[in-house]
Amino acid sequence: MFIFDISNWITLLLMLMITLLLIFLSQQLKKSFIVALPLFFYLILIVVHIVQFLSLSQEFTEIRGMLMRCVAVDFIFIAITLFAYLWVDDVEVKKRGKQGVDNSLEWMWKEF
């Protein structure tokens, strides 16, 4: 069974750099769909890791810890990209002068 180990430090740093570069690019271009791409990727990745964890047989119990670390890292990346998406979406809405669909996080943007 192939497991995309994102708890590895090299992979973790590469994914973090790519994610931060995509967030910066989407903020500069004011296009929220750019940061939505890694968000969907991380959502798919967490589903894959959870399915792999649940379908793990008894002879592969030594990789349970690695899969749980991967799920934890997936949650962290989902949180980062979700807040980045909401931020860039707010920037994009303000640029176009439109009213956003939901302003439930307006209190947070006023703080920054």
At 72-103, the pLDDT tens digits run 999 999 999 999 998 888 888 888 877 655 66
> pTM, whole model, 2 decimals?
0.83
What is the domain count for the chain?
1
CA triple 20-17-82, angle to 5 deg: 35
**Is 81 part of a structural domain of the chain?**
yes
Higher-confidence residue of 46 and 5: namely: 46
Higher-confidence residue of 111 and 38: namely: 38
Q: Are 52 and 1 in contact (CB under 8 A)?
A: yes
- Whole-angstrom Cα Rg for the chain: 17
**Is 64 part of a structural domain of the chain?**
yes
**Is 58 part of a structural domain of the chain?**
yes
**Is 4 part of a structural domain of the chain?**
no
**Is 19 part of a structural domain of the chain?**
yes
**Is 3 part of a structural domain of the chain?**
no
Distant-in-sequence, close-in-space partners of 22: CB < 8 Å, separation ≥ 6: 34, 35, 37, 38
**Is 55 part of a structural domain of the chain?**
yes
Q: Which domain holds residue 66?
A: 9-111
**Is 20 part of a structural domain of the chain?**
yes
